[in-house]
């Protein structure tokens, strides 16, 4: 989706439809359940995660000098209200973790990678990606996130300190006052972190503007959540009355859950910018058309295979008029589960089955497809659909005979 063009043509009706689509996706993907899983995984993995991250920071002397500042920045801006108490616990836990031997350190690394894997699965679920990465590449991505996260925070703090020393920022007469810059820094850091997550973790190419837009939405919601949560903790003392000194633990768990809800909502927003098309949403979600689309996709991939080429998502979106990315991902997921198509290392799609022997019956039985009514306009779209409609029209008489026709014969005249 063209973000600039979409906002230029913004209307109340469009916004309502987009929000309905966005919230529907958020609910259908069971994001609240994913946030719960991520929260408990975070609770299990956060100490190993911090231990591994700060151990990696030690390899960079310049940033290592800012270790305490990085830790203080994280707890002050990402863990509101109970940050001070949790920081004391974390310092104690991390101090003990630093004394572990080889097997213990390996366990910490595995636990930290487990959290990364859970986040990765949640992101790929939102983007409708079922293909898994190469294990080595997956490890490199996770390790990069673990390394670059705290490293970027350290560098941003170093840059901020340097900027404060510049004449045009120093003093009360500076172009940007220090208090203003300090208030902006958490928001900027959050937006950059979310953009990084939305760009790197999904196992597919994500439009930068979509990722940035989702990150901005998530950062705004995160700032609002921090203020609201801090108000809740200070105004309602129920947890302190019940748990006493341990009140920080359930408060922290609730905050982690809210944080993941914000992160997942931002991801859904980023994905929705690319998958939402108002004009054809009712048509594309028709399950009967999924079978027609699956046939057409196989045909496009077969023709590309004959030319020694592959096809990308954008190729299908440009070729199939009115197709939205949400429907494309859904059908591709079905074909991938049926081991008919696969995704290459470059993120393109290709056939992984001999389609010379793949029949319409094989495709029909590979998933819970339904057939579209012949009277609909799709049957007259082009010669390919006319051929397919002729075959579907006799299905009620003898489905086995009708669907024994190889798919590629539909495309032989158009090759």
Task: Indicate if 194 and 306 belong to the same structural domain.
Answer: no
d(CA 70, CA 61) in angstroms, rounded, equals 14
End residue of a domain, out of 249, 276, 303: 276
Task: Indicate if 270 and 295 belong to the same structural domain.
Answer: no
Span 322-334, pLDDT tens digits: 777 777 878 888 8
Task: Indicate if 49 and 180 belong to the same structural domain.
Answer: yes
Confidence check: pLDDT of 381 > 60: yes
How many domains are contained in the chain? Answer: 2
End residue of a domain, out of 239, 261, 276: 276
Return the H-helix or E-strand segment holding 343: strand 341-343
Tally of residues, the chain: 415
Enumerate the β-bridge partners of residue 207: none
Q: Which of 57, 219, 77 is nearest to 154 (CA)?
A: 57
Q: Which of 354, 329, 325 is nearest to 340 (CA)?
A: 354
B/e letters for 113-132, b = 16+ CB within 10 Å, e = fewer, are bbbbebbbbbbbbbbbbebe
φ, ψ for residue 349, nearest 5 deg: -100, 145
Span 90-99, pLDDT tens digits: 666 666 656 6
Confidence check: pLDDT of 72 > 70: no
The pTM for the full model equals 0.62
Confidence check: pLDDT of 313 > 60: yes
d(CA 43, CA 193) in angstroms, rounded, equals 20
Task: Indicate if 111 and 238 belong to the same structural domain.
Answer: yes
d(CA 153, CA 50) in angstroms, rounded, equals 13
Distance of CA 394 to the CA centre of its chain: 43
Task: Indicate if 322 and 186 belong to the same structural domain.
Answer: no
- Predicted local confidence at residue 214, as pLDDT: 93
Strand, coil or helix: 204: coil
CATH assignment at residue 297: 1.10.10.10
List the domain range (segments joined by +) for residue 110: 3-276
- Predicted local confidence at residue 262, as pLDDT: 92
Task: Indicate if 288 and 375 belong to the same structural domain.
Answer: yes
Confidence check: pLDDT of 111 > 60: yes
| Rounded-to-10 torsion of CA 246, 250, 255, 258 | 180
For 42-51, 72-81, 189-198, 395-404, which range has the lowest pLDDT when averaged over its residues?
72-81
Confidence check: pLDDT of 250 > 60: yes
Distances in Å between the Cα of 121 and the Cα atoms of 86, 118, 129 are 28, 5, 9
Task: Indicate if 234 and 299 belong to the same structural domain.
Answer: no
Average pLDDT over the chain, rounded to whole? 73
Distances in Å between the Cα of 36 and the Cα atoms of 39, 122, 253, 344 are 5, 11, 10, 32
Positive/negative CA dihedral, 47, 49, 52, 58: negative
Task: Indicate if 9 and 78 belong to the same structural domain.
Answer: yes
Comparing 157 with 248, the larger pLDDT belongs to 248
- Predicted local confidence at residue 386, as pLDDT: 80
- Predicted local confidence at residue 287, as pLDDT: 54
Return the H-helix or E-strand segment holding 341: strand 341-343
Q: Looking at residues 384-403, what average pLDDT do you find?
A: 72
């Amino acid at each position: 989706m063209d973000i600039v063009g979409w906002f230029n043509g913004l209307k109340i009706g469009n916004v309502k439809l987009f929000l309905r689509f966005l919230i529907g996706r958020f609910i259908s993907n069971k994001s609240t359940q994913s946030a719960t899983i991520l929260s408990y995984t975070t609770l299990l993995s956060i100490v190993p995660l911090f231990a591994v991250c700060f151990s990696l920071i030690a390899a960079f002397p310049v940033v290592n000098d800012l270790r305490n500042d990085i830790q203080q920045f994280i707890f002050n801006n990402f863990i509101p209200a109970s940050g001070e108490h949790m920081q004391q616990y974390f310092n104690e836990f991390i101090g003990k973790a630093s004394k572990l031997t080889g097997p213990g350190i390996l366990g910490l690394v595995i636990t930290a990678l487990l959290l990364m894997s859970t986040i990765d699965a949640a992101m790929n679920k939102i983007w409708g990606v079922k293909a898994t990465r190469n294990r080595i590449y997956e490890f490199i991505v996770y390790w990069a996130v673990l390394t670059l996260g705290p490293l970027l925070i350290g560098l941003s703090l170093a840059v901020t300190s340097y900027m404060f020393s510049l004449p045009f920022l120093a003093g009360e007469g500076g172009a940007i006052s220090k208090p203003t810059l300090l208030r902006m820094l958490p928001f900027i850091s959050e937006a950059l972190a979310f953009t990084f997550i939305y760009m790197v973790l999904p196992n597919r190419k994500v439009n930068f503007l979509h990722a940035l837009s989702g990150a901005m939405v998530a950062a705004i919601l995160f700032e609002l959540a921090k203020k609201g949560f801090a108000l809740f903790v200070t105004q309602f003392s129920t947890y302190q009355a019940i748990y006493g000194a341990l009140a920080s633990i359930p408060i922290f768990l609730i905050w982690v859950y809210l944080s993941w809800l914000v992160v997942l909502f931002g991801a859904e927003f980023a994905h929705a910018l690319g998958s939402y098309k108002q004009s054809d949403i009712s048509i594309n979600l028709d399950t009967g058309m999924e079978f027609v689309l699956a046939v057409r996709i196989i045909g496009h991939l077969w023709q590309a295979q004959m030319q020694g080429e592959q096809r990308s998502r954008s190729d299908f979106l440009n070729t199939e008029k009115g197709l939205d990315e949400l429907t494309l991902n859904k059908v591709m997921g079905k074909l991938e589960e049926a081991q008919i198509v696969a995704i290459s290392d470059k993120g393109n799609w290709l056939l992984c089955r001999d389609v010379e022997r793949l029949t319409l019956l094989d495709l029909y039985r590979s998933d819970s497809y339904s057939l579209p009514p012949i009277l609909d306009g799709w049957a007259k779209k082009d010669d390919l659909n006319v051929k397919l409609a002729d075959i579907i029209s006799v299905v009620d008489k003898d489905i086995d005979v009708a669907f024994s026709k190889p798919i590629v014969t539909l495309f032989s005249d158009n090759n």
